[in-house]
């Protein structure tokens, strides 16, 4: 049986990823002629051409595409092995490394991770950043899952899964002085009153703006923010009416510091846990996703 030379496979992988022999040789710190020789040896070992050579262009053959798929799997497994072993202190299995989108509701994070916080054998490490950076960390195995308001598509280089955790109602909340015996009328009850809204990149805001447009009503916007923690503070400390998911201000609603004027129909805030397929996943993730 022929033995595969993994160095040759690494060279092939680099050529495909870099696009040309020249760039691959520079990345690998070898000469272009040496790289060509190694590629030829791999093709001889596999007994099939991996590229179609058209002038100075290299185009993968059908066999080349198949070999690339295997190479991706092999090298991802190697990277995962190293990342797992390098992160494996004596307590690796008792760590839960969570990435949370910076603007995500802190109340939701607390509710979702409460069992982990209460578990004396688990150390919870939370890192906040933007979604792109967190997905890079997920790919690099430095975090175990990402909490986000939005799902993500399956990544070309990594099997990504978006798990819908919750759909939360969205309400108009206000200071207690707005409480009257008369039922609040939406949207007429908002006329000439200052409002605090999520920023325009929010799905909540997009849905709310559409409802306002259909009703022919233009709200008086006093402030807007993409940060749920800031939205909570503004709602609590001002006299404005705030559009916010209930979970964000649940403490203020329960202690009477804020009241719910109206639960807006057809608007929901979604929460997702984003994970990556791994050979050795953190076992605590499955427990969290089942709760």
Written out in words, the top-level CATH class of the domain with range 6-86 is mainly alpha
Q: Which CATH superfamily is domain 92-166+272-290 in?
A: Periplasmic binding protein-like II (3.40.190.10)
Q: Which of residues 23 and 280 earns the better pLDDT score? A: 23
Cα–Cα distances in Å, from 291 out to 17, 97, 110, 252?
41, 18, 14, 25
Proportion of the chain above pLDDT 70, given as a percent: 92
Residue 92 pLDDT: 42
In SS3 terms, 258-279 reads as: CEEEEEEEEEEEEEEEEEECCC
- Given 3.40.190.290, 3.40.50.300, 3.30.56.10, 3.50.50.60, which CATH number is that of 167-268? 3.40.190.290
pLDDT for 91 equals 47
Q: Is the pLDDT of residue 246 over 70?
A: yes
Give me the pLDDT at residue 155, please. 61
Domain ranges of the chain: 6-86, 92-166+272-290, 167-268
The rounded mean pLDDT for the chain is: 87
List the single range of 85-89, 113-117, 151-155 with lowest mean pLDDT.
85-89
Tell whether the model's pLDDT for residue 173 goes beyond 90: yes
- Give the 3-state DSSP-derived string for the chain, with helices as H, strands as E and coil as C: CCCCCHHHHHHHHHHHHHCCHHHHHHHHCCCHHHHHHHHHHHHHHHCCCCEEEECCEEEECHHHHHHHHHHHHHHHHHHHHHHHHHCCCCCHHHEEEEEEECCCCHHHHHHHHHHHHHCCCCEEEEEEECHHHHHHHHHCCCCCEEEECCCCCCECCECEEEEEEEEEEEEEEECHHHCCCCCCCCCHHHCCCEEEEECCCCHHHHHHHHHHHHHCCCCEEEEEECCHHHHHHHHHHCCCEEEEEHHHHHHHHHCCCCEEEEEEEEEEEEEEEEEECCCCCCHHHHHHHHC
Judge whether residue 1 has pLDDT over 60: no
Spatial contact of 189 and 261, defined as CB atoms under 8 Å apart: yes
pLDDT > 70? residue 108 = yes
Specify the pLDDT at position 123: 86
Whole-number pLDDT of residue 114: 92
* Residue with the larger pLDDT of the pair 155 and 182: 182
Q: Picking from 1-15, 159-173, 233-247, which range would have the lowest pLDDT averaged per residue? A: 1-15
Q: For the segment 187-221, what is each residue's pLDDT rounded down to a tens digit?
A: 998 989 999 999 998 889 999 999 999 999 899 99
- The domains spanning 6-86 and 167-268 adopt the same CATH topology: no
Residue 157 pLDDT: 57
pLDDT digits (tens, 9 = 90+) for 59-104: 888 888 889 888 887 887 787 777 766 665 544 447 889 999 998 9
């Amino acid at each position: 049986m022929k033995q595969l030379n993994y160095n040759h496979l690494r060279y092939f992988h680099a050529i495909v990823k870099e696009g040309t022999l020249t760039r691959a040789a520079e990345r690998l710190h070898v000469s272009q002629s040496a790289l060509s020789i190694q590629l030829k040896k791999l093709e001889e070992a596999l007994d099939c051409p991996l590229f179609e050579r058209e002038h100075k262009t290299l185009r993968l053959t059908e066999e080349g595409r198949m070999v690339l798929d295997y190479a991706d799997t092999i090298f991802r497994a190697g990277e995962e092995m190293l990342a797992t072993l390098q992160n494996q202190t004596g307590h690796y299995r008792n760590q839960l490394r969570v990435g949370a989108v910076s603007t995500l509701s802190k109340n939701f994070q607390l509710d979702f991770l409460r069992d982990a916080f209460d578990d004396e054998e688990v150390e919870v490490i939370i890192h906040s950043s933007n979604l792109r950076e967190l997905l890079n960390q997920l790919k690099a195995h430095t975090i175990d899952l990402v909490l986000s308001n939005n799902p993500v598509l399956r990544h070309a280089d990594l099997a990504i899964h978006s798990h819908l955790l919750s759909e939360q109602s969205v309400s108009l909340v206000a200071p207690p002085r707005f409480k009257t015996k008369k039922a609040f009328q939406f949207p007429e009850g908002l006329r000439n009153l200052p409002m605090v809204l999520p920023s325009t990149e929010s799905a909540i805001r997009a849905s709310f703006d559409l409802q306002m447009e259909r009703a022919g009503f233009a709200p008086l916007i006093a402030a807007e923010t993409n940060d749920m923690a800031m939205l909570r503070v503004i709602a609590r400390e001002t006299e404005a009416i705030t559009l916010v998911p209930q979970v964000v201000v649940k403490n203020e609603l329960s202690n009477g510091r804020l009241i719910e004027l109206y639960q807006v129909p057809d608007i929901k805030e979604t929460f997702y846990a984003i994970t990556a397929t791994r050979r050795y996943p953190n076992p605590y993730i499955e427990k969290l996703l089942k709760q």
